[in-house]
């Protein structure tokens, strides 16, 4: 299994797999609710839309498909990259989809007509891309250990690139969009302004291996990190710095 997530109301779950399948489940009983959904190759990501009515599936076959969450039926044409799609997510309002592919390209698509709204051309070799909670900005991390902020509507870069000393492995906005946390292959955590990209604090090196996951709590002031060293750390965030 490569990805799993709940529907917004918590009644269903979606999972994706290396065998090219996506499955929708009843989250209470664990029973499947639709036939298995297929791609030609592995499904790297699957997620519900904010309204829970549709599901997106992103695959190594270079496509992202939008599907009816009740029937699994494909809705309209697929979104196409020239390389395997590494990640995909809906914007908070569900009207756009942000995708990254293994050729280093990141795109923002309009769901209604499946057209490309923005391609982030100034940066190359993008490996991670995330919408901020209000959908106005996008954060990207590239293979050169640089993090950038973009205006989502126009694809204009905000400020200058933020850098790590090693490959970036995780990027996450706080729930209010004011902070941006980044984790690295060297086990460090850094904190930036989520609106300007200004460096705030770090690096913090409590982990002994790659930081593979970051998540802010709903209440401002807490962040959890998970690492390949087998540990998870909860951090207390203050205006000046995060303290383990």
Pairing of strands 85-90, 79-80: unpaired
pTM above 0.85, yes or no: yes
Per-position DSSP letters for 136-148, written without gaps between them: SEEEEEETTSEEE
Q: Which residue has the tokens 């941006």?
A: 180
Confidence class for position 37, pLDDT limits 50, 70, 90: low
Mean pLDDT over the full length of the chain: 87
% of the chain with per-residue pLDDT over 90: 41
Fold of 1-119: Methylamine Dehydrogenase; Chain H (2.130.10)
pLDDT tens column, 58-114: 888 899 999 998 888 889 889 999 888 888 999 999 999 999 888 888 899 999 999
pLDDT beyond 80 at 152:
yes
The residue extents of the domains of the chain are 1-119
Provide the phi-psi class of 158: left if phi over 0, else alpha when psi is between -120 and 50, else beta. beta
């Amino acid at each position: 299994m490569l990805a799993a997530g709940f529907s917004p109301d918590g009644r269903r779950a979606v999972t994706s797999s290396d065998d090219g399948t996506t499955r929708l489940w009843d989250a209470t009983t664990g029973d499947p609710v639709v036939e298995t959904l297929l791609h030609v190759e592995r499904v790297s990501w699957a997620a519900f839309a904010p309204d829970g009515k549709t599901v997106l599936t992103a695959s190594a076959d270079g496509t992202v498909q939008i599907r009816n969450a009740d029937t699994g039926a494909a809705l309209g044409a697929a979104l196409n990259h020239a390389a395997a799609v590494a990640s995909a997510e809906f914007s908070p309002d569900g009207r756009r989809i942000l995708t990254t592919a293994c050729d280093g390209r990141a795109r923002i698509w309009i769901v209604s007509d499946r057209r490309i709204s923005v391609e982030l051309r100034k940066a190359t070799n993008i490996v991670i891309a995330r919408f901020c909670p209000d959908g106005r900005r996008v954060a990207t991390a590239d293979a050169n250990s640089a993090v950038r902020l973009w205006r989502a509507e126009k694809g204009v870069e905000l400020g200058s690139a933020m850098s790590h000393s090693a490959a970036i492995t995780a990027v996450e906005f706080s729930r209010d969009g004011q902070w941006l946390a980044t984790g690295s292959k060297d086990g460090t955590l850094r904190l930036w302004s989520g609106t300007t990209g200004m460096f705030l604090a770090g690096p913090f090196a409590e982990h002994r291996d790659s930081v593979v996951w970051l998540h802010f709590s709903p209440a401002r002031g807490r962040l959890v990190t998970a690492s390949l060293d087998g540990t998870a750390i909860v951090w207390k965030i203050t205006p000046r710095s995060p303290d383990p």
